[in-house]
Structure 1
Amino acid sequence: MNHIRSILTLACLATLAAAAGAQGQGQRPGLGITDIMRAGPRLAPAPAAPRTAPPAAPVQRSAEYIVALVNSEPITNTEVQTRVERILKENAEAQRVPRAELTRLVLERLIAERAQLQQAKEAGIKVDELAIDQAEQTVARQNQMSLVELRSRVAAEGISPQTFRNDLRDQLLLTRLRDREVEAKVKVSDIEVDQFIRDQRTSPNAATQNINIAQVLVAVPESASDAQVASLQQRAQGVAQRARAGEDFAKLAQEFSDSPDRAVGGALGMRSADRYPSLFVEATQSTAVNGIAGPIRSGAGFHVLKVLAKSQPGAADAVVTQTQVRHILLRSDAKRSTAQAVAQLAEFKERIQKGTGDFAGLARDNSQDASAKEGGDLGWSRPGQFVPEFEEAMNRLAPGQVSDPVVSRFGVHLIQVVARRDAKLSQAEQREAARAVLREKKVEEAFETWAQEIRARAYVEYREPPQS
């Protein structure tokens, strides 16, 4: 399974700002809920296409109207202004961009997305309802809230449940299109890996640093009063004081944290800094290993953070959290739908929990991949080795636990974590970690080129300019 970016690791307003000449960076998982609705994977501003009609002169309009056609498919003024408002509401940087410029950039982004979604449709790429259900649950978990709370927050943003699910579907389609058209074609040579490792050892880059952070989350309900917020903040400060005094952080997490990762002592796992919320990275940037940061406030509540480890990919002393994992994979096809695969794996889980079934035996008899002969064993994995759907579910499991069925682009998985360890990478593993970082960078560059080509091939007819 190839490592790709999660649907939650999407380009946000900063990408739009980059097109206007500002410094951009990718959106991290677990931040604003409506980030998922803003944009697909990072795009560079598209060059003018010879088949694109010039923009019409501004005309004042109050009713709904079409602002552009993309291969005869309309983009409306409401679509543009709705996205502009979401960006302005959730990103302070957006407020420094002139509204007219932001609107233009959003329109260009919508045009690029629409062209890519049309490409996905032509390629026969589909996303079923179960995958959308799972994506919705993932957004809720990564924002440290229940599905009910997520839906309430989305409704408060003026977004209907169906609109939110449609946007999730679009992001999944764009991610799978990216896999198909770009991911598999990118190669990293041994010479490039050697150079990257030399560069990292001589001039470490904080952006590519691997970090392992543990957290205690003291959740703050959306409807909390000022007095309740103050009380919860005091509770978080008490946890931080006890952690700084030397108490076992894992035990504090198990006792006080409102996050699902409390079962594993709050540890979030060794991963690259750009796969953590930027709030966490900024709070711990100057914190030494074993140091405590916080409490810091997010939309979910107050976080107390402990830095468990830091290392550079390719470094001789690189240490990562490795997971020994096994799975049972059932593929969806004409004979078995995704829903039927989910139902069968749910039955396997029940048998395993009751002791009437053995995970390895069920994997050998049923799994539809090469790991079947090994009882589903995938060996010791490092962060980023599996696709995000799989890895997100795996990271939530304590050793011995079995997941609910997990839908990925390969089919449906039942996952069991056997063990975890923090281990120093072998030389071969260091090279693979370095290769993964380089590959992700090259995928981004290749995707930008590919996206520009799709945009240039699309017939775009501009109608009347968007107006708020």
Structure 2
Amino acid sequence: MSHRIFRMTLLCLAALTALSVSAQGLRPSSSSGTGLVNTAPARTADVPQRQADYIVAVVNSEPVTNNEVRARVASTVQQMSQHGENATVTTALVRQVLDRLIIEKAQLQLAAETGLRVDDAAVDAAELNVARQNQLDVPELRRRMQLDGMVPAQFRSELRNQLILTRLRDREIDARQRVSDADVDQYLRDQQANADTSTLELNLAMVLVQVPENATPAQVATLQAKAESVRAQAAAGGDFAALAREASDAPDHRNGGAMGLRPADRYPEIFIDATRGLDVGGVSAVVRSGAGFHVLKVLDKRQGGVPTAVQQQHARHILLRVGPRLTEAAAIERLNDYKRRIQNGQADFAQLAKENSADGSAAAGGDLGWSSPGQFVPEFEEALNALEPGQMAPPLVSRFGVHLVQLLERRETVLTQREQREMARGVVREKKLDEAYARWVQELRSRAYVEFREAPQ
């Protein structure tokens, strides 16, 4: 099973947000006349109800309504508030939410056109996973959602959309990416040739001041001056997170611009060059990219690279492949029956795997051996991470089919040279996936017909 960068745990009780897009990979549309109104700070519970609905944009032939944008903004603000951030609605936030909705609709349209569907059983399983992540059962999850003003049916619709988007990415991006031995060799050579950078991990925060594609020299100068002002405030000790939330045009601005701890080679080279001589807390000069002007702050800096020791997991599974003779719902029902029989002592996991699993591990009773982090697709690995030794997860769906997974044991281990090489392969694959996804989203957005509408007077 291959590794990819996409996590269903983004689906949470508070809200569901669209797929994020790297700031340097996608330029939001010029939308000064989006027709969105009332972007002043507001209590999140009031946002969806105050405004009569109308169309603010059309993506191909599908409308994006004002209520859709306002509901997504409310969810975003609620999440910000729960994380202790300044939960205010700004024009920049509304525009970013609108652009994410446009991209999401374009992806869902492609999925529909190509026959990609998700049945109710898969949504049921995803809802159960969300409930378990919140240490609830499904009825209690729905009760709490209703108390928070969320409609369970809408939540399930969002779950379905996120499952569709996940599978679309599986099909269009992840399943097509290959990492050759030559790629791994080159990565390891690069590590040896530039040890300081190859083993470095960085967490950078960014303020992006976007520059429209057809900006005039005067507009560019004005935007650069804005970036220089942000840089001066940050260098003088200003709150960088607050500056990012207020001034940044990047999708991650609501997180204070933090982009997360990652290997340095997964950042753009201009970011590495701009922060090379900075200590933790340092602020870069303003740098220019194809997206606009960037101001960067070093939040964390540590030596990383391919680890020499990791926590490994020993698991087994039963895989049922979905097809004309076995629907996803039927596969989930059958695996739930297997799970119940195993728990009641009426059946043996290994024997059921030998008799029923459509996987190469069937002959070994479904035994997958010891695995290192990143070896399995995220939904499979997340299910393992949530288990204690001996426990089984609810049936889960991946691109391979439907799985019943059991964790057998965990251990801390020093990696062999071969295992370190496989970890390096995972790093290379992650980088390729990030780059391929950013290109794909750009292409999809450029092919879509998008018409912005003004608010009715």
Q: Give 1:57 deviation, angstroms.
A: 7.5
The answer to whether 1:443 aligns with 2:433 is: yes
Q: Give 1:157 deviation, angstroms.
A: 3.6
For each residue in 1:228-260, what CA deviation from the matched residue of structure 2 results, as whole angstroms up to 9, or x when unmatched?
xxxxxxxxxxxxxxxxxxxxxxxxxxxxxxxxx
The answer to whether 1:369 aligns with 2:365 is: no
CA RMSD of aligned residues (A): 3.4
Is the 2:170–2:399 contact (alpha carbons within 8 Å) kept by the matching residues of 1?
Answer: no
Q: What are the within-5 Å matches in structure 2 for residues 58-457 of structure 1?
A: 63-91=52-80, 95=86, 99-188=90-179, 189-195=183-189, 197-198=191-192, 202-203=196-197, 204-206=199-201, 312-315=304-307, 318-457=308-447
Q: 1:6 to 1:431 in 2, by over 3 A?
A: same
Partner secondary structure for residue 14 of structure 2: helix
Q: Give 1:124 deviation, angstroms.
A: 1.6
Partner secondary structure for residue 63 of structure 2: strand
Is the 1:193–1:434 contact (alpha carbons within 8 Å) kept by the matching residues of 2?
Answer: yes
Q: 1:72 to 1:378 in 2, by over 3 A?
A: same
Q: 1:404 to 1:178 in 2, by over 3 A?
A: closer
Which residue is equivalent to 1:230?
none
Q: 1:156 to 1:197 in 2, by over 3 A?
A: farther
With the length of structure 1 as denominator, give the TM-score of the two structures.
Answer: 0.65
The gaps in structure 1 that reach 5 residues or longer are 11-28, 209-271, 275-285, 287-309
Supply the distance in 2 between the matched residues of 1:96 and 1:349 (Cα, whole angstroms).
44
The gaps in structure 2 that reach 5 residues or longer are 39-49, 204-259, 263-279, 281-301
Partner secondary structure for residue 34 of structure 1: coil
Which residue is equivalent to 1:34?
14
**Aligned amino acid, residue 431 of structure 1:** R
Is the 2:118–2:160 contact (alpha carbons within 8 Å) kept by the matching residues of 1?
Answer: yes
Is the 1:363–1:372 contact (alpha carbons within 8 Å) kept by the matching residues of 2?
Answer: yes
Q: 1:71 to 1:43 in 2, by over 3 A?
A: farther
Is the 2:59–2:102 contact (alpha carbons within 8 Å) kept by the matching residues of 1?
Answer: yes
**Aligned amino acid, residue 4 of structure 1:** R
**Aligned amino acid, residue 63 of structure 1:** A
Which residue is equivalent to 1:458?
448
Is the 1:200–1:312 contact (alpha carbons within 8 Å) kept by the matching residues of 2?
Answer: no
For each residue in 1:192-226, what CA deviation from the matched residue of structure 2 results, as whole angstroms up to 9, or x when unmatched?
42046448953544459xxxxxxxxxxxxxxxxxx
For each residue in 1:269-320, what CA deviation from the matched residue of structure 2 results, as whole angstroms up to 9, or x when unmatched?
xxx977xxxxxxxxxxx9xxxxxxxxxxxxxxxxxxxxxxx994414xx221
Q: 1:181 to 1:41 in 2, by over 3 A?
A: farther
Q: Give 1:466 deviation, angstroms.
A: 9.6
Is the 2:314–2:408 contact (alpha carbons within 8 Å) kept by the matching residues of 1?
Answer: yes
Supply the distance in 2 between the matched residues of 1:205 and 1:386 (Cα, whole angstroms).
25
Supply the distance in 1 between the matched residues of 2:384 and 2:433 (Cα, whole angstroms).
24
Partner secondary structure for residue 8 of structure 2: coil
For each residue in 1:396-430, what CA deviation from the matched residue of structure 2 results, as whole angstroms up to 9, or x when unmatched?
33333334433333222222223221111111111
Q: Give 1:144 deviation, angstroms.
A: 4.2
Q: 1:441 to 1:346 in 2, by over 3 A?
A: same
Q: Give 1:367 deviation, angstroms.
A: 0.8
More divergent stretch after superposition (67-76 vs 379-388): 379-388
Supply the distance in 2 between the matched residues of 1:78 and 1:387 (Cα, whole angstroms).
35
Supply the distance in 2 between the matched residues of 1:59 and 1:154 (Cα, whole angstroms).
27
Is the 1:42–1:444 contact (alpha carbons within 8 Å) kept by the matching residues of 2?
Answer: no
Is the 1:314–1:433 contact (alpha carbons within 8 Å) kept by the matching residues of 2?
Answer: yes
Is the 1:323–1:381 contact (alpha carbons within 8 Å) kept by the matching residues of 2?
Answer: yes
Q: 1:101 to 1:112 in 2, by over 3 A?
A: same
Which residue is equivalent to 2:5?
5
Supply the distance in 2 between the matched residues of 1:72 and 1:143 (Cα, whole angstroms).
38
Is the 1:200–1:313 contact (alpha carbons within 8 Å) kept by the matching residues of 2?
Answer: no
**Aligned amino acid, residue 176 of structure 2:** K
Is the 1:311–1:319 contact (alpha carbons within 8 Å) kept by the matching residues of 2?
Answer: no
How many residues are aligned here? Answer: 345
Supply the distance in 2 between the matched residues of 1:452 and 1:381 (Cα, whole angstroms).
35
**Aligned amino acid, residue 73 of structure 2:** V
Q: Give 1:328 deviation, angstroms.
A: 1.1
Supply the distance in 1 between the matched residues of 2:37 and 2:423 (Cα, whole angstroms).
54
Is the 1:46–1:456 contact (alpha carbons within 8 Å) kept by the matching residues of 2?
Answer: no
Partner secondary structure for residue 327 of structure 1: strand
Supply the distance in 2 between the matched residues of 1:62 and 1:83 (Cα, whole angstroms).
14
Q: 1:273 to 1:127 in 2, by over 3 A?
A: farther
Q: Give 1:94 deviation, angstroms.
A: 7.4
Partner secondary structure for residue 329 of structure 1: strand
Q: Give 1:353 deviation, angstroms.
A: 3.6
**Aligned amino acid, residue 18 of structure 2:** A
Q: Give 1:171 deviation, angstroms.
A: 1.1
More divergent stretch after superposition (390-399 vs 347-356): 347-356
Q: Give 1:450 deviation, angstroms.
A: 0.5
Q: Percent of counterpart pairs with the same letter?
A: 47
Partner secondary structure for residue 67 of structure 1: strand
Is the 1:53–1:461 contact (alpha carbons within 8 Å) kept by the matching residues of 2?
Answer: no
With the length of structure 2 as denominator, give the TM-score of the two structures.
Answer: 0.66
Is the 1:54–1:462 contact (alpha carbons within 8 Å) kept by the matching residues of 2?
Answer: no
